[in-house]
Structure 1
Amino acid sequence: MVSARRPFWSRCIVLGLLAGPVGAFAGTQPLRFGVLPLQSPVALARLFIPLCAHLAKALHRPIVFATAPDFQRFMARAKKGRYDVLFLNPYLYRQLHGYRAVARIKGVPFIGLLITRQGRHIGPLTPRSLAGRSIAFPDPDAFAATLMVKEYLRARGVIVDTEMRPVYLRSQDSVILAVARGLVDLGGTWPWSLDQEPPAIRAQVRIVARTAPGPEMPIAVRDTMAPATVKALQNALIGLTGSVAGRAILRRMHIPAGFAIASPREYANIPRVLNPCAAPRRP
């Protein structure tokens, strides 16, 4: 029995473990599906526990949904091999050893969005107009929402960390809400998270700029995973679009086109280190 004192996100992990008929996976070692804390644990659980349940039935073994309070603790656990399957951004994937990309989101452009509150005047994206402005990010290592947005502004002469007032709010939800409520001038996010906000929140923000696209979000597995398990996982992910139940899971996740097979080569050119404090590029 789950204690009422435990936080909801902790109870969600237990629910993920119990996906599927009771006793169906007796004696089978669970796979831990680690999801980068892009949003609150509750929001991620709502999206990923149905996917874990579907994959558990396809692979005939329990799959445990897991996340972490922040990016740093998530990566520390990943580096210790605490997760068997990972859903994380391309930049952090390139920092890991012992994992390889086997699938990716399909049809969701991996771009950074610069957003502001409806009705707030921002002006041109120049050092003069943005000097001293507050800007919220989910985490320093959020690839699209932070690093790609900072690079976009750097290319226009704006060094965010020295000329603006950046704050880090741990999740995409918090950034979007802070912008919608007018608590900050600007925010960095990406389409997948913005699309999942309630219409009333989305109506309060507007997109100021979009970055160039990068490689789509990967799903990676430990190098030691058996080839047959990897193949079954890939087939289950690709096959989601082929059933009514699978398409319902994808609609809930805001990934209508589903997943595609991925190769580690697709992520070979992701820079290991981006330097948002570097001098801006000159024409």
Structure 2
Amino acid sequence: MVIKKILFVTLASISLSVAQACNKDQVKVENTYTVYVVPQLPAAQMYTKWAPVLQQIGKMTGLCFDLFVPATIPEFESEFIKGTPDFAFMNPYHQVMAYKSQGYIPLIADSKIKLEGIVLVKADSTLTKLSQLKGEKVAFPSPNAFAASLLVRSILAKEGIEIEPIYVKSHNNVYRSIIIGDVVAGGGVNNTYNREPVEIKNEVKILYRTPVFMPHPFSANPRISQRLRDQVIQAFLDLAQTDAGRKMLDEIQIPEPVKVNYKDDYLPLEKIGVEKFVVNGTN
């Protein structure tokens, strides 16, 4: 069965942790910067999507990037809270956490599609409303995945719907946990769900959609100079001017990059009441 084959390949692909994403022969070693990417999908998939983009951005800026894809979202969080990454692609509430802890500066985000949390169930499920999830097992990528977990769990709590959260490390695993029946429902986001193979999407359906927010930003540690930040921003914007560039950027969920800032685009998230659901130091 095709679904079983996809399940096996996807769930077995979470071993990659770090890889080189540039040719150091082309640039000076001191121009090397670390880029950490939130592991929404298995690490091997994230590397395959991000490495070509960073190679191209490196050519355009004369910089070199070391690409890190932590095995889990909590591991990713611990790194940016310590201020390890020079640059990071993070979820919107991670941006709030990173700004408060280390002053990370959002540079660009996608302008094409806003981020939307979704709750999914099996395609043949008889469930029609959130209240029917009371007492059930619901899968999430991690406690602090923003729209897929924090936002959904806060909405369920406000509605008085108590569930048993099950954290399965990635968005891929959420969708597949629903299909194989490990959980009744799961939290995801439009950007990862829309990129799933049709065989997976045919096996689930959307039960609920959250309000929408500015998507994941590509952010910089404040130790990165304004000049370098501007170079990176311009490179992303220029890359989007070609068909090939837009195709690469679509793979990393930034098909139409636009410059963003914390005050206008992410500060409002401080006021939506999800902070009480943040879990610190979870593996």
TM-score by length of 2: 0.85
Which residue does 1:95 correspond to in 2? 97
Q: Which runs of 5+ in 1 are unaligned?
A: 1-6, 278-283
Higher CA-based Rg: 1
CA distance in 2, matches of 1:276, 1:221: 26
Q: Deviations over 1:120-142 (max 9, x none)?
A: 1113322xx32221100000001
Aligned letter for 2:182? L
Measured after TM superposition, the shift of residue 276 of structure 1 is 5.2
Question: Percent identity of the aligned residues?
Answer: 22
CA distance in 2, matches of 1:273, 1:114: 17
CA distance in 1, matches of 2:117, 2:274: 17
CA distance in 2, matches of 1:38, 1:270: 20
Measured after TM superposition, the shift of residue 157 of structure 1 is 2.9
Q: Which runs of 5+ in 2 are unaligned?
A: 1-13, 279-283
1:13 aligns with 2:7: no
More helix by share: 2
For 2:148, which of 145, 162, 168 is the aligned residue? 145
For 1:114, which of 104, 115, 119 is the aligned residue? 119
Measured after TM superposition, the shift of residue 105 of structure 1 is 1.9
For 1:59, which of 58, 61, 69 is the aligned residue? 61
Measured after TM superposition, the shift of residue 208 of structure 1 is 0.6
SS at match of 1:83: coil
SS at match of 1:95: helix
Tell me if structure 2 keeps the 8 A contact 1:117–1:181.
no
Tell me if structure 2 keeps the 8 A contact 1:116–1:206.
yes
Tell me if structure 2 keeps the 8 A contact 1:111–1:148.
no
SS at match of 1:86: strand
Q: Deviations over 1:136-195 (max 9, x none)?
A: 00000011000111223234331xxxx222100011110011112222110000011112
Aligned letter for 1:109? K
TM-score by length of 1: 0.85
Which residue does 1:44 correspond to in 2? 46
Q: What is the root-mean-square deviation in Å for CA atoms of aligned residues?
A: 2.0
Which residue does 1:188 correspond to in 2? 187
Give 1:126-137 correspondences, 5 Å limit.
126=131, 129-137=132-140
Give 1:154-165 correspondences, 5 Å limit.
154-158=157-161, 163-165=162-164
CA distance in 1, matches of 2:135, 2:92: 30
For 2:34, which of 32, 35, 50 is the aligned residue? 32
CA distance in 1, matches of 2:247, 2:55: 13
Aligned letter for 1:239? D
1:104 aligns with 2:106: no
CA distance in 1, matches of 2:109, 2:134: 37
Which residue does 2:258 correspond to in 1? 260
CA distance in 2, matches of 1:239, 1:115: 36
Tell me if structure 2 keeps the 8 A contact 1:138–1:174.
yes
Measured after TM superposition, the shift of residue 269 of structure 1 is 2.0
Aligned letter for 1:56? G
